Structure 1
Amino acid sequence: MTNPPPAEIILSTSRTHGLVAIASGENLLQARDALQEAGFSRLPDGAFAAPLSAAQNARETASALVHRAHEHGATITTSPRPYLGDTGQAIAARLPGTWSAKLEIYPRQHWQEDLIGSLWDSGDLLQAMLHDRVPYAVMLNNHAGTELLLIERPGHASGYLLGAFATQEYDDNWDEPNAPRSIALPAAANRAARAVAHTFLPNYRRALHHRRLDTVMTALNRIRPEYETLQAIKDSGRYSDGMPLANSRLQPQMERAFADHAWLSFRNVLQHAPLLLSRCRPTASPWPQDAAALARLHEALANSQDAWAEFNDLRAELYSIPATLPARQWSQIRSELGAAVLPAIETWLADGETFERQARAAVPGGHVALSATAHRRPAPPTPARPTNAHL
């Protein structure tokens, strides 16, 4: 990534605002001072604008900006593209459903870098955010869980790159195998919107379906060996190495330890499986006989809702819980939750393979991609809200 000027003013034109300027660089305050002294007004999104309606006033503003920028040591760069905020609005207006577009400015490089951990991409957008200077971008949001990032395509005089952020429940997005590939968009807003609606969003929705399914199956695969080992010990009265269970009090301790560990994984099932189950249509699949197993899985999830609600209430109250709460008490909470959903765990272990084949047969299609889980990502540079690893 090349070092940007310490104070830079990036100019573009807008049908709505006239001449739009974005201040960037480590010394961005100097660039802002130059803009304000040249007669630019600040827009709500942080950019600056000056009208171009009167030719004489426009020339005076441009001349004043050149002089003020020189006085403040700011470099002026003219973009060959129209103002990105307008482009984002035009694309959002043409997408299916209701979308909003918001320009975000990253005047310093570390603000741009703050976005990288939230991106869920295996294509050029992630590479651009890693290796190119991206001083601003547009967030496209359908307010139903899908949030996209739109940037000007680096190294090209026109066109854009668009990719997705991960949904709220996912933090570890680096090298995630299901990550969709970002898409290069043409300059024309109507063509760009068609590419987003008919190509990117369906791919994104399928990728999210597979990621959720992998999350559920990984959780079950973590639980299964421990469950089978515990059951073998209970049935035989011996440890896995053949030694007899000498103390009868050890079995309840092992059950509590299993419930503790099982909850940490099974909560992923409770979070992701309902949406996947709702898409399964066994009668339309090659395995209509799976309907009974899916009904059992539905019932198991319904019977776990009290524990799931208790867990979410607890997460919402984390800030009122003393940080010094001993790990043993956290373990006890998890054990109680795990014991409460043990019948559901057993059902999901028994019918998990049936669920997997039905869910893989239910990959969504169509040109509208919507997520059911709301996503809230703090805008940079606000630090990410801390989480509690014990839960």
Structure 2
Amino acid sequence: MHHAHEHGATITPSSRPYLGDIGTEIAARLPGAWSAQLEIYSHPLWQEDLSPALWEAGDLYRALVDHRVPFASVLKYDTGTELLLIERPGHRSGYLLGALTEHEKEDPHDDPSTPPSIVLPADPQLAAHAVSHTFLPAYRHAVHNRDLNTVLRSLERIREEHQTLQAIKDSGRCSDGVPLGDSRLIAGMERDFADHAWLSFVHVLDHATLLLTRCRPAASAWREDAAALTRLREALASSQDAWKEWNDTRRELYSIPRTLPAHEWSQARGQLGLAVLPAIETWLADSEAFERQARAAVPGGPASLPAPSPRLLTTRPTPPPSPRAAAAHR
């Protein structure tokens, strides 16, 4: 204030609490182990780099697109959930809060599970209540639906290829009409299917276990689904050795300075796909029961906040002190 007066500058203090303080105060009042970190975006490109990480297509998204946002507070849950808190542009009070994600995603405007941002008051107690009772329940539902949709899309891709393969085997002809006179052709097609099926089934292995824990067939209108859910759990359990082998293989290969040739990757995936083929077929057969039970499931409680999935191919760098690198949330 003294230097401003010396240079003839006028400073108008804001009635809005400092973002670094309000973020810390809100985090301290949320259920569970939350923390807050102030981030400074000295260059507009750093602000723009938030867009790929923002899981939101409403007020917070438009604020980042249409306004200069020089700093933000990131609220972090101890399992990896991150929320972005900024001052509400164009208003003398209030804040905007939305979700960040490390998951690859398409345009958030096309994602039906996107959790909407929320306007928070300047009072940290009221703000924390709004986050814990309004935003986080919506966020948990959004994560649940996102993971469910990921599993269902993966199963649909497998189903399409499985039906194509079965139609070729039943007809005795390739898709171009050429007769299958050599059994090696069929074996090759089955290996190709197993390769592609594994790439999709890994998403089932990654997300379905947690989704199944939320299913309560006895409390639903489809109690008879209990047997199908038991079969699905057993199928996942029988695939754990292949899942572990896949993760161990990727971790080992990416820790050494060489690249595995594409055909060797395909061979490795094909072998794993053939190993879990009975589990894949079980999931294809009982996918309808899984979907209706998972749609009816209600995730709840702080414990259901998601832990980040293992990222074996890329690792998120540790954020440096502010000002930070532009790709912090990539």
State the partner residue of 2:2. 63
State the partner residue of 2:306. 372
What is the distance in 1 between the residues matched to 2:306 and 2:201? 20
* Residues 297 and 180 of structure 1, relative CA distance in 2, 3 Å threshold: same
Q: Is the 8 A contact 1:118 1:173 kept in 2?
A: no
Which has more helix, going by share of residues?
2
What is the distance in 1 between the residues matched to 2:57 and 2:303? 18
- 1:200-349 residue pairs with structure 2 within 5 A? 200-240=135-175, 243-349=178-284
- The alpha carbon displacement at 1:233 in A equals 2.7
Question: Which whole-Å deviations, capped at 9, do the CAs of 1:293-337 have from their partners, x for residues lacking one?
Answer: 101100111111112112222333453344543221221122122
Question: Which whole-Å deviations, capped at 9, do the CAs of 1:71-96 have from their partners, x for residues lacking one?
Answer: 9xx99775442211110111111111
Q: Is the 8 A contact 2:54 2:99 kept in 1?
A: yes
What is the distance in 1 between the residues matched to 2:160 and 2:53? 32
Instruction: Between the two structures, name the one with larger relative contact order (CA 8 Å, sep ≥ 6).
Output: 2
In the alignment, structure 1 segments of 5+ residues that lack a partner are 1-61, 387-391
In the alignment, structure 2 segments of 5+ residues that lack a partner are 310-314
- The alpha carbon displacement at 1:279 in A equals 0.3
**Aligned partner letter, 2:197:** A
What is the distance in 2 between the residues matched to 1:111 and 1:186? 26
Q: Is the 8 A contact 2:45 2:326 kept in 1?
A: no
- The alpha carbon displacement at 1:364 in A equals 2.3
Q: Is the 8 A contact 1:105 1:135 kept in 2?
A: yes
Q: Is the 8 A contact 1:102 1:139 kept in 2?
A: yes
Secondary structure, in 3 states, of the residue corresponding to 1:162?
strand
- The alpha carbon displacement at 1:231 in A equals 2.2
State the partner residue of 1:133. 68
Secondary structure, in 3 states, of the residue corresponding to 1:332?
helix
Q: 1:355 aligns with which of 283, 286, 290?
A: 290
Question: Which whole-Å deviations, capped at 9, do the CAs of 1:29-77 have from their partners, x for residues lacking one?
Answer: xxxxxxxxxxxxxxxxxxxxxxxxxxxxxxxxx314665xx69xx9977
* Residues 147 and 335 of structure 1, relative CA distance in 2, 3 Å threshold: same
What is the distance in 1 between the residues matched to 2:45 and 2:120? 26
- The alpha carbon displacement at 1:195 in A equals 0.7
Q: Is the 8 A contact 1:106 1:136 kept in 2?
A: yes
Q: Is the 8 A contact 1:204 1:369 kept in 2?
A: no
How many pairs align? 319
TM-align CA RMSD: 2.5
* Residues 183 and 272 of structure 1, relative CA distance in 2, 3 Å threshold: same
- The alpha carbon displacement at 1:258 in A equals 0.6
The structure number with the bigger radius of gyration is: 1
Q: 1:174 aligns with which of 90, 108, 112?
A: 108
Identity across aligned pairs (percent)?
63
- The alpha carbon displacement at 1:343 in A equals 1.2
What is the distance in 1 between the residues matched to 2:196 and 2:179? 24
Q: Is the 8 A contact 2:4 2:10 kept in 1?
A: no
Q: Is the 8 A contact 2:212 2:233 kept in 1?
A: yes
